[in-house]
Structure 1
Amino acid sequence: MLLTERRTEEGLLVSVCDADILGETFENGEVSLTVETDFYDGEEADEERVVGALARATVANIVGTRAVSVAVEHGFVDETTVLDVGETRHAQLLRL
């Protein structure tokens, strides 16, 4: 997985994606999702590091079957809120 952490005025923004989908576009009807290199390209990260980043995140964007599975498995995202977009999955996390 690829992990990026950005400090913003609102808190920590985390982006996570499966490495093999970087730059790909997925579609499901009118919904289109491009895994933009500028936003999602980051450092290779194992599950433990991703979980740590998600635990600290104020906002997170998560794309890819594996990345979303990790977020669901560790309780950061509810399975019912996950979007299936073409052949991948997308989830967002927002802590208020």
Structure 2
Amino acid sequence: MTTPSPLVMRERHTDRGLLVAACDRDVLGETYDNGGTEFTVTESFYDGEAADADAVRAALARATIGNVVGDTAVGIAIDAGHVEAANVLELEGTVHAQFMQF
């Protein structure tokens, strides 16, 4: 029996470039609220292919727009230099970050 990947990722080509949405599998479908912001990690936006860290890292490197949720996914974006830790939004037990590359 194989263990499912801890990450899921979806790539979309948009009129603004490649959008990569990646999240930790365990946050998919969850809603988070920090008192002023409510955020749902929707399957329709994030759920796509199971991915490992290398696949997410490679996709984020190609992305024009990146949207990542969860400790592992955000950690990959930080380690790859796409997101600064100081700019990560903390939401009731998870983290979220977005970036745009020109």
Q: TM-score, normalised by structure 2?
A: 0.91
Name which one, 1 or 2, has greater alpha-carbon Rg: 2
For residues 9-35 of structure 1, what are the alpha-carbon distances to aligned partners after superposition, in whole Å with 9 as ceiling and x for unaligned?
Answer: 111000000001110001101111100
Q: Which aligned pairs between 1:34-73 and structure 2 lie closer than 5 A?
A: 34-73=40-79
Partner secondary structure for residue 61 of structure 2? helix
Instruction: Using the TM superposition, give the Cα deviation of residue 58 of structure 1 relative to its aligned residue in structure 2, in angstroms.
Output: 0.3
**CA-atom RMSD in angstroms:** 0.7
- In the alignment, the residues of structure 1 paired with residue 77 and residue 14 of structure 2 have an alpha-carbon distance, to the nearest angstrom, of 22
Percent identity over the alignment is 48
- In the alignment, the residues of structure 2 paired with residue 10 and residue 72 of structure 1 have an alpha-carbon distance, to the nearest angstrom, of 23
After superposing on structure 2, the runs of 4+ consecutive aligned residues of structure 1 that deviate more than 3 Å are: none
Count of residue pairs brought into register by the alignment = 96
Partner secondary structure for residue 29 of structure 1? coil
| Structure 2: segments with no counterpart, 5+ residues | 1-6
